Amino acid sequence: MGWWNGEPTGPTLYSVPNRTSVTGDVPSIAACFVFVTLYVAFLIIFPGVRKERLTTFTTVTLSLFVGNVIMVCKMGSSWHVARTRVVSSYSAFSKDLVPAELGAYIGLAHVNITLIGENNSGINFNERFTWRGSGEMGASYRAGLERGLPFPILTVAEYFTLGQEGFTWGGNYRHAGYYASVFLWAAFACWLLSNLLLLVVPRYGAGAMALTGCLMLASTLTYHCLLPGNPLHVRFEERHLTFKFGWCFWLVVFSGALCLLTGLVILAIDFIYPNRFSTILEVDYDTPYDRHVIIEESHHKRRAGKGLEEPPGLGRRILRRLSSKKEETEGRANAGFEMDVPKSPWNYPLHRPAMPFRRQDSASSAASSIEPPPQLGRQPFQSFRQPIAVELQGKGW
């Protein structure tokens, strides 16, 4: 029933779902949004940077670009692509032919198959078949049969489903995507480590950046080597799909080579000019604890301790010849030298005479007796060691 026919009924009910095809990859768009947000925030604060502008801008731009490439290409669907115009039936056992553009976009863990009709026919499909598990591709194909997908889409998906009688393309693409994903995840971990080291020790950060580029190149090389030896050709009445490398593959190659080259250049600069490469993002930058300040202070102390600097080149060798020291001779002991008695600062505060000790025979007594001092008038201060020495000399000691 209609809405404006005058009858007291509700709105028209459309019980058949009229879904639209997928127009964008949500995970890839989310990854791009995160990295673009970080880069825009950096561009906002960049005009306030007064030192190390070139190195800071280059390092941050390259780092965010490489990280975004790794994540987008890991989830992307354009590692191996094919597209052609076909004229085929919409469903099996149908005589009506429909002209449309058929495309297949293979990622690391899935394949996207698109079918876009011509002349506003209303045909617009974008179906994804995944193969993360060993039997997931077959389950996706059976689900497509139940939903009644167009015949061209099911024809392409069938080549990736069968794993027997020469139809091994699905297993080969699955192996290639699996090992390429492993290398990309390793590159992402190394990318995080390079960002951390660039904030602490830029020399090691450059080495980690070069290693990140090597891992990205290794992922593309692994994917290329594990592709099916017999190329996949999906044939239709007059046309056929021929696959070639897509933009995800070439973007990883370009980013890996750029990352490797940049890391090697930074290492070469640090080798020729030690401790010159720096960014404002370093820890303790432009503070008393900055590594450049500490290194300059240590060099200044070394130069100050050596005295006059030696002239470089020929003058340095002449100065060494003129200032050569003679061989030092060993010293001889002087037997007639007598050292003065040291003046000890330790003196008793009371001016009293020393208490002489008298030694008795050990046979008569086991203890020593102390002779009381004579009751004399006031005498000047004498050291307590002198009377003992005189008494001992008198007794023959």
Q: Identify any residues that bridge with 102 across adjacent strands, giving them in sequence order.
A: 84, 115
Residue range 84-103: mean pLDDT, rounded:
83
CA atoms of 244 and 377, how far apart (whole Å): 125
Q: 3-state class of 12 per DSSP? A: coil
Using pLDDT thresholds of 50, 70 and 90, give the confidence band for residue 5: very low
Query: Band of the pLDDT at 66, cuts 50, 70, 90?
Result: very high
Rounded-to-5 percentages of helix, strand, coil across the chain = 45, 10, 40
- Taking residues 229-238, report their average pLDDT: 82
Write out the E strands in the chain.
Answer: 80-89, 97-106, 110-117, 124-130, 233-235, 240-242, 244-245, 357-358, 369-370
Can you tell me which residue has the tokens 């306030």? 48
Q: What pLDDT is recorded for position 308?
A: 47
Q: Who wins on pLDDT, 7 or 176?
A: 176
Residue 332 one-letter amino acid:
R
| Rounded mean pLDDT, 262-268 | 90
Higher pLDDT residue, 291 or 121? 121
DSSP state of 372: P
20's CB contacts (< 8 A; 6+ apart) are: 124
Q: In terms of C-beta distances under 8 Å and separation of at least 24 residues, what long-range contacts does 49-55 make, across chains too?
A: 49/280, 51/280, 51/286, 52/278, 52/279, 52/280, 55/277, 55/278, 55/279
Q: What is the pLDDT of residue 217?
A: 96
How far is Cα 171 from Cα 164, in angstroms, rounded to an integer?
A: 10
Share of the chain above pLDDT 90, in %: 26
Amino acid at 27: P
What is the model's pLDDT at position 242?
Answer: 87
Average pLDDT over residues 32-58: 86
pLDDT at 148 over 50: yes
In the predicted model, what is the mean pLDDT of residues 199-209? 85
Among 141-145, 321-325, 340-344, the minimum mean pLDDT is found in 321-325
What's the number of CA atoms in the CB half-sphere (13 Å) around residue 73? 34
pLDDT for position 193: 93
Helical pair 169-200 and 202-225, crossing angle rounded to 10 deg: 170
Residue 264 confidence class, pLDDT cut points 50, 70, 90: very high
Q: What is the pLDDT of residue 192?
A: 94
Is residue 159 very low, low, confident or very high in pLDDT (cuts 50, 70, 90)?
confident
Using DSSP bridges, classify how beta strands 357-358 and 124-130 pair: parallel, antiparallel or unpaired. unpaired
pLDDT score for 44: 92
Interval 28-44 mean pLDDT:
92
pLDDT, mean of residues 286-294: 52
**Per-residue pLDDT averaged across 133-156, rounded?**
84
pLDDT reading at 233 higher than 60: yes
Report, in angstroms and rounded to the nearest whole number, the Rg of the chain calculated over CA atoms: 46
Q: Which has more pLDDT, 202 or 357?
A: 202
Summary mean pLDDT of the chain: 75
> Can you tell me the distance from the alpha carbon of 79 to that of 227, in angstroms, rounded to the nearest whole number?
11
The Cα-based distances of 276 to 58, 192, 287 in angstroms read 15, 23, 16
β partners of residue 214: none
- Taking alpha carbons only, the member of 79, 99, 77, 75 closest to residue 89 is 99
pLDDT confidence bin for 307, thresholds 50/70/90 = very low
**Confidence label for 163 from pLDDT (cuts 50, 70 and 90):** low
Asked if pLDDT for residue 325 goes beyond 60, the answer is no
Q: 165, 145, 163: which is closest to 92 by C-alpha?
A: 145
106: three-class secondary structure by DSSP: strand
Would you state the pLDDT for residue 284?
Answer: 54
Q: Is 171 left (phi over 0), alpha (psi -120 to 50) or beta?
A: alpha
CB 115 within 8 A of CB 125: yes
